[in-house]
A and B are shown apart, each in its own frame.
Chain A
């Protein structure tokens, strides 16, 4: 697995000679080149899609500058105004939690496709407790609702981790199944125990006092700060604690971990539970900070987008922040693009998918562009293939 961060333990004052500076730049380039190129290529493909899409409309003249107009509008919508910026931050927040969830699991050699289910369950637990405590003091209601979301997500992550540890059941299979289960659980909970009497369609009451306070602009809720805290905590866990060392070792080489006296099964369960807790927090933050109630159709694709975020961020907390901001910005800029350039907001999905495709097909890119010295694979894509492969052999 690749280490994006600089080698740890450099407490000597670094001598910034020309050589070391060059070395630093090379290292940085090696780790960011691939994500960067993937984004650029995705934008190119997106531009082609925009140009070609004009052909579908009969009689319309093909405007070759339309992609530029579209991207300009996307950019302006996301970052061009204070409101836009706040929207971007709000949209990025759950992606940060989700990206950390998937990224942490990747570090332990686990592929947490279940972030979506953990996200949904986290949101459900948060609304459940939030509605129960809606009239209590915010100082009690909010932490309780957040904790409930976190625990529910953790439980939903614990299950596949536990199954893998005791029986070898592959987490990719079990987490996908649990995603479907989560959708059903929500549909039931919202239409039965949590349904607000008198409403036409199944809908819960709002969380009132348990909601996250708005801190910036009209929509900038306190969850943004929680996301920053989560980034620091995960970074610190992974790189500064012995537990994090165990997680990374189990992910990089489970046999060596066993040899070193670590307990890979325990680490698997623990990491999946922690990943679940992070995805659960993503759900709780969306529910308590944005929607504040839940319908039976609650659900965004946050959990799935998180996989892309983790891959683009190379499973590094700092990389994940940038990836989440990018994806959040595209989400928040899309409406303006639709209005100004007439390009459907779904283009963002195309871009996102293309970024992912180029990242995963990195071997091809490196070969075609003759990239030397760029880090070989995302360790994380290796994780995907390895976890599939290892199981298939048995």
Chain B
């Protein structure tokens, strides 16, 4: 990259002294940010640091109280998202804004249709443009594919295409890799690099340090609404970035210590489970977890892990096979029966299953035990017991909230997850099922949850850890099982497993792949 060119040209985007106040919060405090043409600029910060507010200001969703925005050196006003798009600023949200039942082409065209005449869309032309655009950035996309049938990685590419189709010069990606596998992440990085080479500027929001170091040209770190530092990847490292981000020294990898596996706690034999559409997605899983052991399940999202977990905790019917806990058959028992047998469950989709957002924290903390003493007496709720237990757990698990009576939707994502962990980890547990326990969380919360999991293991609980985050599985697990297309294709020792090998197994299923294609039913 030529240094002279960069210094001569004005930054593609410059935000100067952006300040945004919300009642009681200074979300952005005099933030300066400049992004050069063709640069991948990472914005790093914990949840609630002010990254989202800053991007909302850029996208016209929030009006700054102070500060200026300059595009190519010219001050602009951005009235709203439509205005932002018109000025070449596009955002790819973490939760995709796609219509699943529409085709790729329809999603890209939506709102920006190419017309053949005043009535009909020129599909042929639209398809041509989309295919060409995809090719230019290194991927072949079928414009007729239904978005709902695409993998998450491809859906993200559709989002990026959507932005490019609208002539985006500045592309904001909000946690783009949170939902991707390591391989998909590599692929998307390749796309991003080509975009940058073609002169697009990219703002890459993340709190995954190693990714930021890998992809970014420059890194701006935000903490509590202020810019606390700017770094170039070559001159910094993960530890320094984490410290900047959190404001204190952080232990990035928790010392998992020695484990002392005892008797078999959970045993799963020949389990087969169907998904919502009736397709068999868990196709004969056998596994065992011992008390005092963490079994990590590595796998690309959508290989049957969620269904496996849901079947174990009783939320999904078992097609065939057996689940037993300490030798007692619990196959097909209700979620309540399994919970009462000492199984804690941290669900992957915390907003769907884990919390009732409109309820107070105290009610959420007794969500799975509201019907038992001390939280109920006969048909009545014991409000005093609910509240005092809640306050105790809030303290113990460091949930940051002014009061147990505050609604769960006032908590940040990390604190919501701590709330769920506080509920599921407390008391005597025999098995903990953790499905993506740290997805989307900041380093501080991840560290905390990992420590708690190790502590539970050492207290004799069996732990099943499902994560699309391969590093998390490698860091915590005593044993690692790789799940591919509904089967466990390999088991490795957690301390000696090779990251590349496990990643390859996740992506291809190893030798099992051919075997399953020969003998297994058509998927």
Q: Which residues of A contact B (CB under 8 A)?
A: 1-3, 7-11, 240-245, 248-249, 252-253, 255-256, 258-261, 372-373, 379
Contacts and interface: CB of A to CB of B under 8 A. Distances in A.
B384 A9 contact: yes
A2 B358 CA distance: 6
B368 interface: yes
A259 B359 contact: no
Given A9-B362, A260-B368, A261-B336, A245 B381 contact: yes
B394 to A, nearest CB: 14
Given A241-B381, A261-B334, A252 B358 contact: yes
A36 B347 CA distance: 40
A9 B386 contact: yes
B358 A256 contact: no
Interface in B357-399: 357-360, 362-363, 367-368, 370-371, 376, 379-381, 383-384, 386-387
Given A7-B405, A256-B354, A242 B381 contact: yes
Contact of A249 (B335, B367, B379, B387): B367
Nearest to B349: A255
B111 interface: no
Contacts of B370: 242, 245, 260
Contact of A255 (B352, B358, B405): B352
Closest 3 CB pairs of A and B: A261-B336, A9-B383, A7-B405
20 contacts: A7-B362, A8-B381, A8-B405, A9-B405, A10-B383, A10-B405, A241-B380, A249-B356, A252-B356, A252-B358, A256-B352, A256-B356, A256-B367, A259-B347, A259-B353, A260-B336, A260-B367, A260-B370, A261-B334, A261-B336
B255 to A, nearest CB: 32
B233 to A, nearest CB: 41
B328 to A, nearest CB: 18
A172 B153 CA distance: 39
B327 interface: no
A1 to B, nearest CB: 5
B280 to A, nearest CB: 21
Given A8-B360, A242-B371, 6 more contacts: A8-B381, A252-B359, A255-B352, A256-B353, A258-B335, A259-B335
Contact of B379 (A243, A255, A258): A243
Contacts of A11: 383-384, 387
B315 interface: yes
A66 B405 CA distance: 48
B339 interface: yes
Contacts of A9: 362, 383-384, 386-387, 405
B315 A259 contact: yes
Nearest to A11: B384
A90 to B, nearest CB: 33
Contacts of B356: 249, 252-253, 256
Given A1-B358, A10-B405, A253-B357, A261 B383 contact: no
Contacts of B381: 8, 240-242, 244-245
B353 A379 contact: no
A379 B407 CA distance: 14
Contacts of A249: 356, 359, 367
A23 B356 CA distance: 23
A3 B358 contact: yes
A197 B367 CA distance: 59
A256 B334 CA distance: 14
A341 to B, nearest CB: 44
B345 A242 contact: no
Interface string B390-430: 00000000000001010100000000000000000000000
Contacts of A1: 358
A376 to B, nearest CB: 10
Nearest to A244: B381
A373 B386 CA distance: 28
Contacts of B379: 241-243
Contacts of B298: none
A248 B407 CA distance: 14
A9 B335 CA distance: 27
A18 to B, nearest CB: 17
A243 B386 CA distance: 15
Nearest to B339: A261
Interface in B326-356: 334-336, 339, 345, 347, 352-356
A374 B342 CA distance: 42
B257 interface: no
Contacts of B335: 258-261
A7 B370 CA distance: 16
Contacts of A243: 379
